[in-house]
Amino acid sequence: DGKGQLLNTNADTVAQAIAVGLSSLYDVQLVYCFELKGVLKDIQQPDSVIPEINASYFEQLKTDGIVSKGMIPKLENALETVARGVAKVTIC
């Protein structure tokens, strides 16, 4: 802030805003990278990556408890990004 206080920002949200802004001019794909290979069907199996998630499948994954905690806002953000014009979001 203006007084030198550090602020915590959500990098996913910042990246989303930039991607959405550029999507009116370019074919944009957003890539989120984190410590896992992607969204996992089984957190104990690092190779159980779910290859594609749409809004209805996301709801099922939440209901089944497969996605939880910090992955929920990450996926909500990704789905909103696509709904707002970004061609594709990859989580890896």
* Dist. CA 13–CA 48, nearest whole Å: 26
Whether this prediction's pTM lies above 0.95 is answered by no
Find the range with the poorest average confidence among 21-30, 54-63, 66-75. Answer: 66-75
Backbone angles phi, psi at 11, to 5 degrees: -60, -35
Average pLDDT of the residues in 22-46: 95
Q: Which helix (H) or strand (E) holds 55?
A: helix 55-63
Residue type at 79 in one-letter notation: L
**Residues ≥6 apart with Cβ < 8 Å to 14:** none
Count CA atoms closer than 13 A to 60's CA, side-chain side. Answer: 7
Our measurement of the distance from residue 25's CA atom to the centroid of its chain's CA atoms, rounded to an integer in Å, reads 21
On the question of pLDDT at 88 being above 90, the answer is yes
